[in-house]
Structure 1
Amino acid sequence: MGEGLTADAIQDLVDAAEREGRARAAKSQAIFESAREAAGVASGDGIDGGETASASWEEAVGFVADRAGRAARLADLTILAQPGEGSADEGGELLNEVLFRSGRPLLMVPAGATADTGAHVIVSWNGRAECARTVAAALPLLKTAQRVTLLHVGEEHPDRPGLEALRIYLARHGIESEAVRREAEGVSVADAILAAMQDCGGDMLVMGAYSHSRWREMILGGVTRHAIQHAAVPVLMSH
């Protein structure tokens, strides 16, 4: 057994971590302010009831994923970069914590995405509660889309709302849509969804997240995990 760290050594580690945290916060704030100014967005907390967008910077001490997951509960939408190599959220911990802790919708944006995305939205539908919750959150985006395609892979479950029921629901909100059905022949459901996205020319995907347990998907794989790793367009999802 080796000797443990001395109190001074532990304090040195804590001090170094705090210095690194302050440096990362300062760098992040500089990037935030630069992006805000470039977009012409005013600095403010948005509580004055104005019609124009505003943005404010906040800092908190703690684990990033945990704090972000809680803060997102009072956000209409959380926008995060797609996890992956070179990303600050390489393993996807931040994205998953926001999905599971917030109860709110999340928009995952891959590198290279443009601001004009959302002209053709693909809704991946399976009739489950997670999917219905995401569709409800997506209504403002669906109303402004030029085209909405409803996608179902495989056979519809007899005890869940199908594509036609979803089409009628959206029509009641003034949203026209078309239905596309695909079979997952020789490929996974996740691959079939992403292939349909490409075939249909969609530039945004709407889907429920983790219909199965997160641990099952992490071990065995699943639609959500595959989409997080491989989607080439922004993905709106909620759990």
Structure 2
Amino acid sequence: MSDTAHRIHAVRPNGRSADYLRQIGAKRPFAPLLPIDEVMIAAFTETLRAPGFWACERSVDILRDRLQPRQTIQDAVFSPAARLAGAYWSSDVWSFLDVTVAVSRLKRLLAQEARQNHQAPKIGARSILLSAAPGETHDFGLHYVALAFERAGYAVDLRTGADEAELMSALVMHRYDLVGLSLSAQCLLDRLTLFIGSVRNRDKTRDVLFLVGGNAFVSCPEYAACVGADFLATDPDTAVFLAQLRLGSHAGREQALAR
């Protein structure tokens, strides 16, 4: 077993994880609420593959009480749980099926958070189309990006499993300020380049800005320019910040050209 796996086992709680978290929740009226720690994250991560989705939801409710000021459940619980699930898989602690079930449930929890915290965008709000790049199957991180843009007041159109034809149809039918595409597999870079190029060649879509992110660009940021993107972001908050900067300057150019 690898060093990572040994460290993982060191923080895993004894007994059933859901029971461990229920015991923490039961202490709430009588003890101060301690910050979320590694053992709590490990317990929550275990519930993601346990029978019954209700255990995941109950665990989220328990951990939500322990959020610190300005923390979100996504950043404090879901993100570290996703990283831990990946570590379990790479260290042969979990099977591929375990990870698949866990990621599916995390997506479901993220969707619930989005529905509960959803606020209709204001009239005239900036809009963004978010999708995995054509051919890409990994779209978990897009849910975090969508939540970040919604919190910033954007009208978000999140599409999972969309191909070139669906994305192009959406771009022709609706006017988006920004398109965000995520890519993990570098073997799909040429396909993404062709898609962005085809969008640029259409009169109705040539002015849209392209944001890219994902593992394909982490080690080689220069790939963002190669595929024709306007900018690259490595995390949701940075994506929103850069979008605000780029859209502001883009609007200025449009106004200048209109004069």
Q: How high is the TM-score relative to the length of structure 1?
A: 0.32
Using the size of structure 2 for normalisation, the TM-score is: 0.30
Q: Which has the higher contact order (CA 8 A, sep 6+)?
A: 1
